[in-house]
Amino acid sequence: MSHTLPDRSFFERSALEVAPLLLGATLTSRVGGAEVAVRITETEAYLGLGTGDVHDEGSHARMGPTARNRSMFGPPGHLYVYFIYGMYDNVNVVCSPDGQASGVLLRAGEIVSGHDTAWARRPTAKTARDLARGPARLAMALGFERAHHDGIDLLNPHGQAVLRLDASTAHCDTIRTGPRVGVSGNAGTEKFPWRFWLDGEPTVSPYRAAKVRGAGTRPRSS
């Protein structure tokens, strides 16, 4: 299987276009002197300003730029890393032209190198398939944290994060789509199948519908 480094223009499209194309891609982290690579098996798309007619209630970009989501509104091809539930970091790939802010959440993947480091970072994992099965687990296995990795460039071959696309098209007929996991609002329903995964991959995370939100709560989002 051949993997290639994309150029910036690859990411200058809506996350809805980019999300399925990242399936099978390899993301390599170089953190703390260790290298870990994950093959991406599940993604979710989140829209931003100027990326379509639907107001994406699940997106951090829905209300415009803030201190938290600034990286989403920056140049495409960078990471947007955010802290959630006061416990976990999640990793997104910034898409769309500069200022429009759509993103792809990396939901799950298979560790393909750096297994010892991934196990050390995920000591509670019961099996190898669980090392990066879910967005918080994936971020933890790769060693990515908001404080240190939000906004870093994916296209620097010598950087802390390098994304290489799967040049093969053999997996295209195995791509499945469905509603995003745990997201309420307009784009959390069956009408918006913005979650993408490789069928039959054991590392794909289980689906769960969003809980009904009470007053003052927010949807889980990219």
Mean pLDDT within 202-206: 94
pLDDT, residue 57, reads 77
DSSP 73-120: GS-TTBEEEEEETTTEEEEEEEESSTTT-EEEEEEEEEEEE-HHHHHH
Question: Among residues 147, 213, 197, which one has the least CA distance to residue 45?
Answer: 197
pTM as predicted: 0.89
Question: Among residues 44, 62, 88, which one has the least CA distance to residue 207?
Answer: 44
Encode pLDDT of 153-178 as tens digits.
999 999 999 999 986 655 567 899 99
Question: Among residues 20, 204, 37, which one has the least CA distance to residue 10?
Answer: 20
Pairing of the two strands 175-178 and 161-166: unpaired
Domain positions in the chain: 3-198
Name the 3-class secondary structure at 129. helix
Cite the DSSP H helix spans in the chain: 15-21, 115-121, 135-142, 146-149
210 pLDDT above the threshold of 80: no
Encode pLDDT of 145-154 as tens digits.
999 999 999 9
Question: Among residues 17, 56, 19, 48, which one has the least CA distance to residue 187?
Answer: 56
Question: From CA 135, how far away is CA 2, in angstroms rounded?
Answer: 25
Question: Would you say 82 and 91 are in contact if contact means Cβ atoms under 8 Å apart?
Answer: no
Would you state the structure tokens that stand for residue 22, as one six-digit string? Answer: 């990242």
Q: Which CATH architecture has domain 3-198?
A: Roll (3.10)
Q: Which residues contact 193 (CB under 8 A, 6 or more apart)?
A: 177, 178, 179
